[in-house]
């Protein structure tokens, strides 16, 4: 005979009903978004030329680049579908965490220690889009990309989610600073929540006044506002060089890999 439903199982059922209700209104997904990569990953093949192209891109020697070179499309595809991408991200997140653990939470600083996260290719992965759009080898298509964004189906990057939760636990104020526009606020918020990100302090979008600004300028200005409000930006995580340069910089910035696209 089945045991009578416990309070816990009722709670779980209630949670399921609420989740299902939430999801039925998001017009698409049926459960929490599955974490990247979702399927079995393969061992990456090394290709010295493309390894060097990736190196140049990651240290910003390539400057403002438009698309993945034709000879490196397979390399980039293998990189993202192998243990390489996860391994690089894991290593960067481990360093981020050991830095975060070293940050002192004095009484005076309480509630002022902050961390800034980028969104695309940092908290959320657009790989499902890029998989069917040439892995960055095709010119950026604003219409097609926004259609994808508006679906709100980008999965979380597992290492970033882990860092996010630990930072919350440590007591950091969490600021999400994205290059996405205000018009994408609702879908982005919903996507983040479904991906497992909860309880951020502010989610900052490009407003009308930020249009046409270079990403590094827009992000510096927004960080500057946080500093003016009294926050101490201890760390940041982002995949672009525009997350690393400019002013009002964090005490330490951490760069995730992205050999797929460059944001000027």
Our finding on whether 223 is near its own copies (CB under 8 A) is no
Q: What is the DSSP string of 4-62?
A: PPPHHHHHHHHHHHHHHHHHHTTTS-SSSPPPSS-S--BPPPP-HHHHHHHHHHHTTTT
- Nearest-angstrom CA–CA distance, 56 and 126: 22
Our finding on whether 90 is near its own copies (CB under 8 A) is yes
Binding segment (CB under 8 A) for its own copies, from list 88-96, 128-136, 141-149, 204-212:
88-96
Our finding on whether 214 is near its own copies (CB under 8 A) is no
Our finding on whether 222 is near its own copies (CB under 8 A) is no
Q: Compute the least distance from the CB of residue 10 to its own copies, in Å.
A: 34
Our finding on whether 129 is near its own copies (CB under 8 A) is no
x/- letters, 99..118, toward its own copies (CB under 8 A): x-------------------
Please give the backbone phi and psi of residue 219, each rounded to the nearest 5 degrees, phi first: -70, -40
Q: For residue 115, which of 242, 252, 246, 234 has the smallest C-alpha distance? A: 234
- Nearest-angstrom CA–CA distance, 119 and 13: 31
Q: Compute the least distance from the CB of residue 258 to its own copies, in Å.
A: 11
User: What does the binding site for its own copies look like in residue numbers (CB under 8 A)?
Assistant: 43-44, 46, 48-49, 51-53, 55-56, 58-63, 83-84, 87-88, 90-92, 95-96, 99, 252-255, 257
């Amino acid at each position: 005979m089945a045991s009578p439903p416990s309070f816990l199982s009722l709670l779980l059922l209630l949670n399921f009903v609420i989740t299902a209700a939430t999801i039925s209104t998001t017009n698409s997904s049926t459960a929490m978004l599955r974490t990247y990569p979702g399927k079995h990953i393969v061992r990456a093949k090394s290709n010295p030329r493309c390894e060097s192209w990736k190196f140049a891109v990651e240290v910003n020697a390539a400057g403002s680049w438009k698309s993945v070179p034709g000879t490196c499309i397979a390399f980039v595809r293998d990189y993202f579908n192998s243990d390489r991408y996860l391994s690089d991200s894991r290593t960067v997140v481990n360093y981020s965490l050991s830095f975060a653990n070293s940050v002192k939470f004095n009484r005076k600083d309480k509630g002022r220690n902050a961390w800034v996260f980028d969104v695309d290719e940092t908290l959320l992965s657009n790989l499902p889009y890029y998989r069917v759009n040439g892995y960055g080898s095709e010119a950026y298509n604003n219409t097609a990309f926004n259609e994808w964004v508006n679906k709100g189906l980008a999965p979380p990057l597992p290492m970033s989610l882990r860092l996010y939760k630990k930072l919350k636990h440590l007591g950091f104020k969490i600021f999400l600073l994205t290059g996405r526009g205000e018009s994408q606020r609702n879908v982005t918020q919903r996507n983040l929540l479904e991906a497992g990100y909860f309880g951020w302090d502010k989610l900052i979008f490009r407003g009308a006044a930020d249009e046409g600004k270079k990403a590094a300028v827009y992000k510096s200005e927004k960080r500057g506002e946080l500093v003016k409000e009294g926050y101490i930006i201890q760390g940041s995580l982002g995949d672009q060089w525009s997350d690393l340069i400019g002013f009002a910089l964090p005490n330490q910035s951490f760069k995730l890999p992205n050999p797929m696209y460059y944001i000027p």
